[in-house]
A and B are shown apart, each in its own frame.
Chain A
């Protein structure tokens, strides 16, 4: 089955929905009952963004990243962020080679197609920014030499809720670099029972097979740019962005970078749903994840979670 899918992907003509559906199905077996979050995660990857997962420990963040790497056949590295992590631990270090008589750069864990940055807010800002700069530039410069990061390059960062002890909060400017933030949350009772009865997650992940080639994934990422965005839809997106700036509900509105992110994420969602162009519903589906971590509710506002922030915006702006 895996081979047919791979062949279908390589000819570049097949429907993106047909390519994406098996990925979701495969992941769905590992992370039970979180189809929507999994689709958002894929949308983020297809839009060439990076994903931030804010959640409590133990709800499957690591498993998700690992499973994603397996299903998409991506090279995978995990970096556990701790308070003593150094930038070199992330990007690599130049070491003097006795044999060659030269300094040689030893690539760090960031040189992977899928990087899991675990508990990113436990590291110091210096280490955080090493990762975040690499995310933005998609290259690393050490001692004057520039090294490109592999393609695709997808960072899944997790953070603990910021009220937990021993965390360095991420500044807004760095949060802006994540295309989306999602929350997995606790599973429902039925799903939890399934988790408890089925086998070990790690084994299940190891048994996973790739259902999409790297080439096919890159091609999908390119196709995404061709998803039509109509003028009416841009009106809608601009109205949404303008609302965040003018309503007085937020201490600062969405940046133009966030507006672009919203367009890309909506395109990804439209592509995953087989739409020829972006529909308002596509925007509405991704908006809470795209804006939730970028907006700070004004003091005294009753907006708390990313979900209520998104819902309040969608409730206030008419569809164009």
Chain B
């Protein structure tokens, strides 16, 4: 082999190592301080320049100095070396410096092994489907690199090695599945990551001013997904209850404080058929669990409570990672609570001097007819009869938003209608409040579940009627009934930019987006949320009723032993059928090992036996006769015609009596 070819191989190995190190650390880059990836790139570039352009590489002093600086920098950044983020940063930085000093293939192998750790550490931070697919692919890539580095001689063809690496990983697949299914699960995610930042997400808030929901309507983010276990209810029933807002300062609605109730109010009566469903909440940074109006059952022991306005909340932990809940709701209900005088005051309060024209109009209605039902009808008729527009681009409103909206602009989004309607009700003496939440949802036909986007955010009104309690009135439905029936994209906002509007014009693109969403949902559902409960269910289906963790561990170990045993038996069997163990080869192998112990460089697998014998004689001239005898006997048996059991016996004895004294 020429030295040029050797050099080229060495470069190939270095490039493989560089590729693996860079790729394995890539998922960490977004969470690292900027200097860490920069350091990594510089180290890789420097080392490669050393190989390609003969740049001088740093000496020991410089390397130790760099390592110390990097350590201090990590400490300065995180004030600790503990924890996922600081640990990952340290790992990346040290990998960078290690790469700078790679000389031997052993260094490169060490880097490859560390890269597996880096890949694994990548999963500690983020576990989205994209990242996992990338990392799975990269495990494959790293294994290819490991195979390339692990052999002598020239590099193999990449595709051949890729197939081999793929086969190796497939061998590991059953082991992975056993460990995944059976390994005892702890409640909650395996690594609690308080630092994962979700508070910046947009979503509902506990106040509502004109324009708030309009902004949400432009967001394509998913708020949550819902899977109905039976027939899904019609779109006009899909009111997802969120925060209830009762305090009004003339412009902004806000919550009047939350009273925890813990159990269902006695005054709440359900009727009709229950709807069972599962809500898969995206992190919202709040405690709210969006449930179909009106929730009746929720899982015990998860800290879920219903507060005094019938909103489900989780206490005390806010929702910072994806969670799934099994819920039951009844679309038909009767919230017949009675109001105390203090409560009445809260639900009738309007700030002095605000929105005078609206109040005047409501007073007129009240004088015509005292019946609240009649007043509500008058208000809804106002929205229907006059030229109100449902729009995503309403004009800005001033000091008296209800007045301006009702009498001047007459263009608004759902929060304008809900707000104005509630003001009218209160002015007419009907206790009323604003309920925010989501309405509708998009059916993902691939996964048979609904996706509720932030753009589904909605606001409506609840009025309190004597003898009936709280009743939902949605003024938006009076203006734009298609918004309730078909959602935002239903055409009521033709020509306006709605979230996902561009997608909706290209059916296939939309379908792809839905397919990707379905894949992600299954991933979240079956892999990420695979916790103690799901494990218990699966084990029960497998016939293991009450798994104790010791039982699980022993089961895992037994299965692993069985799997590995099967694999080994399979490999041994294929090996045997391919080349039956030849006794002569076995004796010769023992002879080679004896020579190896006598300081003869071991026989390479590609070295012919006679060549090896010649080499051994050069190293051990004293034993030349014996070595020659044994080599000749072996070659005679294995490669020449007409030898029988006698020769084999002779070879056996020769090898047994061969005791070389070590070469000096």
List A residues at the B interface (Cβ < 8 Å): 228, 230, 232-233, 235, 246-249, 275-281, 284, 298, 302-303, 308, 311-312, 314-320
- CB of A248 within 8 A of CB of B639, answer no
- CB of A248 within 8 A of CB of B158, answer yes
- CB of B157 within 8 A of CB of A228, answer no
Q: In the assembly, what is the distance between CA of A13 and CA of B8, in Å? A: 52
- CB of A228 within 8 A of CB of B607, answer no
- A–B complex contacts, Cβ < 8 Å, 29 sampled: A228-B639, A228-B641, A232-B639, A233-B639, A246-B160, A248-B157, A248-B158, A249-B156, A249-B157, A277-B639, A277-B641, A278-B639, A279-B608, A279-B609, A279-B635, A280-B608, A280-B609, A280-B610, A281-B610, A284-B608, A284-B611, A302-B5, A302-B8, A308-B5, A312-B153, A315-B152, A315-B606, A317-B606, A318-B605
Chain B 134-166: CB-based contact to A (< 8 A → 1; otherwise 0)? 000000000000000000111011111000000
Note all chain B residues with C-beta closer than 8 A to A298.
Answer: 157
Task: List the B residue with the shortest CB-CB distance to A281.
Answer: B608
Partner of B639, one of A280, A308, A314, A317: A280
Note all chain B residues with C-beta closer than 8 A to A320.
Answer: 579
- CB of B640 within 8 A of CB of A302, answer no
Q: In the assembly, what is the distance between CA of A279 and CA of B2, in Å? A: 26
Q: Confirm or deny: B4 has a beta carbon within 8 angstroms of a beta carbon on chain A.
A: yes
Q: Confirm or deny: B582 has a beta carbon within 8 angstroms of a beta carbon on chain A.
A: yes
Shortest beta-carbon distance, B5 to chain A, in Å? 5
Using known A-B contacts A228-B639, A281-B608, determine if residue A311 contacts B1 with beta carbons closer than 8 Å.
yes
- Of A311, A312, A319, the most chain B CB neighbours within 10 A belong to A319
Note all chain B residues with C-beta closer than 8 A to A249.
Answer: 154, 156-157
Note all chain B residues with C-beta closer than 8 A to A281.
Answer: 608, 610-611
Task: List the B residue with the shortest CB-CB distance to A250.
Answer: B157
- CB of B159 within 8 A of CB of A248, answer yes
Q: In the assembly, what is the distance between CA of A219 and CA of B5, in Å? A: 44
Q: Confirm or deny: B540 has a beta carbon within 8 angstroms of a beta carbon on chain A.
A: no
Task: List the A residue with the shortest CB-CB distance to B584.
Answer: A232
Q: Which 3 A-B pairs have the closest CB atoms?
A: A248-B157, A318-B605, A277-B640
- CB of B605 within 8 A of CB of A319, answer yes
Q: Confirm or deny: B638 has a beta carbon within 8 angstroms of a beta carbon on chain A.
A: yes
Note all chain B residues with C-beta closer than 8 A to A233.
Answer: 639
- CB of B1 within 8 A of CB of A308, answer yes
List B residues at the A interface (Cβ < 8 Å): 1-2, 4-5, 8, 152-154, 156-160, 579, 582, 585, 605-611, 635-636, 638-641
- CB of A315 within 8 A of CB of B1, answer yes
Q: In the assembly, what is the distance between CA of A231 and CA of B330, in Å? A: 80
With A246-B160, A276-B640, A279-B610 known, 12 other A-B pairs at CB within 8 A are: A230-B640, A232-B638, A232-B639, A248-B156, A249-B154, A249-B156, A279-B608, A280-B608, A302-B4, A302-B5, A308-B2, A319-B606
Q: In the assembly, what is the distance between CA of A308 and CA of B4, in Å? A: 11
Note all chain A residues with C-beta closer than 8 A to B636.
Answer: 276
Q: In the assembly, what is the distance between CA of A278 and CA of B585, in Å? A: 16
Partner of B606, one of A230, A303, A314: A314
Task: List the A residue with the shortest CB-CB distance to B638.
Answer: A232
- CB of B608 within 8 A of CB of A319, answer yes
Shortest beta-carbon distance, A262 to chain B, in Å? 15
Shortest beta-carbon distance, B386 to chain A, in Å? 76
Shortest beta-carbon distance, A225 to chain B, in Å? 13
- CB of A318 within 8 A of CB of B606, answer yes
Q: In the assembly, what is the distance between CA of A284 and CA of B609, in Å? A: 12
Q: In the assembly, what is the distance between CA of A302 and CA of B7, in Å? A: 11
Q: In the assembly, what is the distance between CA of A318 and CA of B607, in Å? A: 7
Shortest beta-carbon distance, B78 to chain A, in Å? 44
Using known A-B contacts A319-B609, A320-B579, determine if residue A312 contacts B154 with beta carbons closer than 8 Å.
yes
Q: In the assembly, what is the distance between CA of A247 and CA of B160, in Å? A: 6
Q: In the assembly, what is the distance between CA of A318 and CA of B153, in Å? A: 12
Note all chain A residues with C-beta closer than 8 A to B4.
Answer: 302
Q: In the assembly, what is the distance between CA of A311 and CA of B606, in Å? A: 11
Note all chain B residues with C-beta closer than 8 A to A308.
Answer: 1-2, 5
- CB of A247 within 8 A of CB of B609, answer no
Q: In the assembly, what is the distance between CA of A315 and CA of B155, in Å? A: 12
Using known A-B contacts A280-B608, A315-B606, determine if residue A230 contacts B8 with beta carbons closer than 8 Å.
no
Note all chain A residues with C-beta closer than 8 A to B639.
Answer: 228, 230, 232-233, 275, 277-280
Note all chain A residues with C-beta closer than 8 A to B609.
Answer: 279-280, 319
Note all chain B residues with C-beta closer than 8 A to A275.
Answer: 639-640
- CB of B610 within 8 A of CB of A316, answer no
- CB of A235 within 8 A of CB of B2, answer no
Shortest beta-carbon distance, B624 to chain A, in Å? 18
Note all chain A residues with C-beta closer than 8 A to B635.
Answer: 279
- CB of B160 within 8 A of CB of A248, answer yes
- CB of A315 within 8 A of CB of B608, answer no
Shortest beta-carbon distance, A312 to chain B, in Å? 6
Q: In the assembly, what is the distance between CA of A248 and CA of B157, in Å? A: 5
Q: In the assembly, what is the distance between CA of A117 and CA of B1, in Å? A: 32
Note all chain B residues with C-beta closer than 8 A to A316.
Answer: 153-154, 606
Task: List the A residue with the shortest CB-CB distance to B636.
Answer: A276
Shortest beta-carbon distance, B9 to chain A, in Å? 8
Q: In the assembly, what is the distance between CA of A319 and CA of B160, in Å? A: 21
- CB of A312 within 8 A of CB of B638, answer no
Q: In the assembly, what is the distance between CA of A249 and CA of B161, in Å? A: 12
Note all chain B residues with C-beta closer than 8 A to A311.
Answer: 1
- Of B152, B154, B582, the most chain A CB neighbours within 10 A belong to B154
- CB of B154 within 8 A of CB of A315, answer yes
Q: In the assembly, what is the distance between CA of A302 and CA of B156, in Å? A: 12
- CB of B640 within 8 A of CB of A315, answer no
Shortest beta-carbon distance, B130 to chain A, in Å? 31
Task: List the A residue with the shortest CB-CB distance to B2.
Answer: A308
Using known A-B contacts A276-B640, A278-B639, A312-B1, determine if residue A247 contacts B157 with beta carbons closer than 8 Å.
yes
Note all chain B residues with C-beta closer than 8 A to A284.
Answer: 608, 611
Note all chain A residues with C-beta closer than 8 A to B605.
Answer: 318-319
Shortest beta-carbon distance, A251 to chain B, in Å? 11
Q: In the assembly, what is the distance between CA of A281 and CA of B607, in Å? A: 8
Q: In the assembly, what is the distance between CA of A127 and CA of B607, in Å? A: 43
Note all chain B residues with C-beta closer than 8 A to A230.
Answer: 638-641
Q: In the assembly, what is the distance between CA of A276 and CA of B361, in Å? A: 119
Shortest beta-carbon distance, B11 to chain A, in Å? 10
- CB of A228 within 8 A of CB of B640, answer yes
- CB of B606 within 8 A of CB of A276, answer no
Q: In the assembly, what is the distance between CA of A99 and CA of B158, in Å? A: 71
Shortest beta-carbon distance, A81 to chain B, in Å? 32
Task: List the B residue with the shortest CB-CB distance to A317.
Answer: B606
- CB of B153 within 8 A of CB of A315, answer yes
Shortest beta-carbon distance, A247 to chain B, in Å? 6
Shortest beta-carbon distance, B243 to chain A, in Å? 63
Q: In the assembly, what is the distance between CA of A208 and CA of B242, in Å? A: 110
Shortest beta-carbon distance, B631 to chain A, in Å? 10
Note all chain A residues with C-beta closer than 8 A to B641.
Answer: 228, 230, 276-277
